[in-house]
């Protein structure tokens, strides 16, 4: 796992601008604390920060090969892991390739030499990489199928700059961050972002499952190609065979993802997803697997159940750890610690943070990093198998909109009337819903609930999941921890996608299919436990502090949000209490206002 950055500008000798590349690369220091390197040539410059996980000595980057009659360099910078690198290496050796290292990085480089940009179609993993092919004067940017690893870019006249995080682009003198009022719907609810979309003008993400090619002919825009997408087809396996296939896939995925030359641990909340992954990891790793769970001081007193968080994690995590025989730790955080870490979490994200939800994860990963370099997480099981409560509420499912938003209040409803009329966040949300609904890969003849749930799961995979994966990447890489996500393996996603909803819920519970596949792995308490989302603070003092910060913001004429918000509408949300299927309380709902204000100030941004 690493951080990458680069700059291509055709017709300019970038070997004279190594200082700029170095500044861009240095912003990735936390992503790659173990090593760094840069390469610069006539039209391109690439930089790399390394977190050493596989082949500690042999995987240094940028990694270079030569091709063409003049031995022109082919230069790779790469972030992530390709889990099937051993099989690919054997194929490449049979085709005459000779390797100098044991690293998956060299497999990626030589795969490009052998198959060109179609190499990505052979990769099983999480990755984002750039290849500068000097022989063809072409830059290739690529991202994994589900978008686990980030890759941002900004076209410039005659070329492009790219980096693992926005801060890498912002460090380039020719990219100036700008934000307009049209970005307000995304700033106030980042889950609405379409694939590739960011709130900063001129900055984009490489879309999941896509490659971008920049050459002199298309230097300013790039040529985009989708190499992977979900495809709907009839599911012919019966229930028994479906359960068996899911189990076989998860076993294979976890076995691949525990491979590392550094210590590996697991996130264990005591829920079905994390306990299943931890159980399989414990089978693969010798000795006692280390597991971790986040908890909050005072939760025994302050916790209040909601539909999404009906129970505390920590007691279930301890039961699961005892059942699995893991070396378990509860990372207990105080409200003061969580609040103090918010600026660091915001800096890691480069965008408005989720406040306590980002900072508590940041502190959890910081604690894990003291003993592990890799952690396994069960993110995405709910999107793949249908675990969230809104999937199982008919009124929410059949509502003509994003089910994960339901009929909850929209923070964009707090915009001042004149801003509302210019931005029309209601139309922005409706347009995104209609756009994604039109992209659903439908199964001919499918109707009723099975057809609607195909839509609902598609919305989740392309919206909220992308945001959660981005959050997990940022908070973990900010402390030099690699987090792997087995449920994002595209083979599992492809298979589960075509399992009918009636079969996914065949046992009468959310995620019945996964429950049946893991029945012999987890304790009874875990098997019967309802879905509980990532935990949040219930400390009344924290809630009061957030609401006080919102009140100060509304009175502050120096705020970049001054004139953007309607104080009366904000007050109505405060009085409502904010408790819905998604929100813990009014403070949870209104927190983005505080975070957007802080982000705009820190980056010197105003709407224009």
- Residues annotated as catalytic are 2
Determine contact, residues 578/586, Cβ cutoff 8 Å: yes
Structure tokens at 581: 């299927």
In 3-state terms, what secondary structure has residue 163? strand
Angstrom CA distances, 85 to 92, 122, 216, 355, stand at: 10, 10, 32, 38
3 state SS of 247: helix
Tokens representing residue 374 in the block:
């890799």
Computed from CA positions of residues 81, 85, 89, 92, in that sequence, does the dihedral angle turn out positive or negative? negative
Nearest Cα to 81, choosing from 108, 121, 48, 56?
108
The label of the residue with tokens 């010798």 reads 286
- Helix, strand, coil: what percent of the chain each, to 5? 45, 15, 40
Enter the tokens of residue 241. 């065979």
Residue 407: Cβ within 10 Å count: 11
Whole-number Cα distances in Å, 125 to 47, 122, 443, 573: 22, 10, 27, 42
Coil, helix or strand for 549? helix
CA distance 446 to 455: 12
Instruction: Collapse the DSSP code of 152 into the 3-class scheme (helix H, G, I; strand E, B; otherwise coil) and give the result.
Output: strand
Token pair in block for residue 607: 């709407």
Phi-psi region of 563 (alpha: psi -120 to 50; beta: other; left: phi over 0): left
């Amino acid at each position: 796992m690493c951080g990458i950055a680069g700059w291509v500008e055709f017709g300019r000798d970038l070997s004279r601008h190594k200082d700029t590349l170095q500044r861009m690369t240095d912003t990735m220091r936390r992503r790659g604390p173990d090593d760094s390197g840069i390469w610069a040539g006539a039209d391109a410059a690439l930089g790399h920060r390394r977190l050493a996980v596989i082949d500690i000595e042999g995987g240094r980057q940028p990694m270079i090969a030569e091709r063409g009659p003049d031995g022109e360099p082919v230069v790779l910078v790469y972030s992530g892991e390709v889990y099937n690198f051993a099989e690919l290496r054997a194929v490449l050796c049979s085709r005459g390739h000779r390797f100098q290292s044991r690293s998956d990085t060299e497999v990626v480089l030589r795969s490009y030499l052998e198959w060109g940009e179609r190499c990505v179609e052979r990769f099983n993993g999480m990755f984002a990489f750039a290849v500068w092919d000097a022989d063809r004067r072409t830059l290739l940017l690529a991202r994994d199928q589900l978008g686990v690893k980030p890759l941002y870019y900004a076209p410039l006249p005659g070329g492009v700059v790219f980096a693992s995080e926005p801060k890498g682009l912002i460090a380039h003198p020719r990219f100036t961050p700008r934000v307009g009022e049209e970005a307000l719907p995304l700033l106030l609810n980042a889950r609405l972002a379409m694939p590739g979309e960011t709130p900063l003008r001129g900055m984009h993400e490489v879309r999941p499952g896509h490659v971008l090619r920049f050459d002199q002919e298309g230097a300013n825009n790039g040529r985009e190609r989708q190499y992977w997408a979900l495809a709907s087809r009839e599911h012919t396996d019966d229930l028994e065979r479906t359960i068996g296939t899911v189990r076989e896939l998860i076993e294979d995925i976890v076995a691949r993802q525990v491979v590392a030359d550094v210590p590996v641990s697991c996130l264990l909340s005591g829920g079905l997803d994390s306990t299943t992954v931890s159980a399989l990891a414990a089978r693969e790793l010798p000795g006692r697997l280390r597991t971790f769970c986040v908890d909050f001081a005072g939760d025994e007193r302050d916790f209040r159940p909601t539909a999404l968080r009906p129970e505390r994690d920590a007691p279930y995590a301890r039961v699961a750890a005892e059942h699995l025989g893991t070396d378990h730790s509860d990372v207990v955080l105080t409200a003061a610690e969580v609040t103090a870490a918010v600026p660091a979490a915001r800096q890691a994200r480069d965008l408005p943070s989720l406040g306590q939800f980002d900072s508590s994860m940041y502190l959890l990963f910081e604690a894990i990093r003291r003993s592990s370099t890799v952690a396994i997480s069960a993110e995405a099981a709910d999107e793949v198998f249908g675990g969230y409560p809104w999937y199982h509420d008919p009124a929410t499912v059949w509502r003509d909109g994003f089910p994960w938003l339901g009929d909850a209040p929209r923070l964009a409803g707090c915009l001042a009337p004149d801003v509302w009329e210019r931005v029309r966040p209601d139309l922005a949300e409706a347009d995104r819903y209609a756009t994604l609904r039109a992209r659903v890969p439908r199964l001919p003849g499918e109707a009723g609930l099975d057809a609607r749930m195909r839509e609902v799961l598609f919305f989740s995979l392309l919206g909220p999941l992308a945001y959660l994966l981005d959050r997990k990447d940022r908070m973990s890489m900010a402390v030099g921890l690699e987090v792997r996500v087995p449920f994002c393996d595209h083979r599992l996603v492809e298979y589960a996608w075509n399992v009918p909803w009636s079969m996914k819920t065949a046992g009468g519970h959310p995620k019945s299919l996964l429950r049946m596949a893991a029945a012999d792995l987890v304790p009874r308490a875990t098997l019967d436990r309802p879905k509980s989302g990532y935990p949040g603070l219930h400390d009344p003092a924290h809630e009061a502090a957030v609401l006080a910060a919102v009140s100060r913001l509304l009175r502050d004429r120096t705020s970049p949000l001054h004139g953007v918000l309607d104080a009366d509408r904000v007050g109505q949300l405060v009085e409502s209490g904010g408790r819905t299927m998604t929100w813990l309380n009014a403070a949870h709902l209104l927190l983005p206002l505080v975070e957007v204000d802080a982000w705009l100030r820190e980056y010197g941004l105003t709407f224009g």
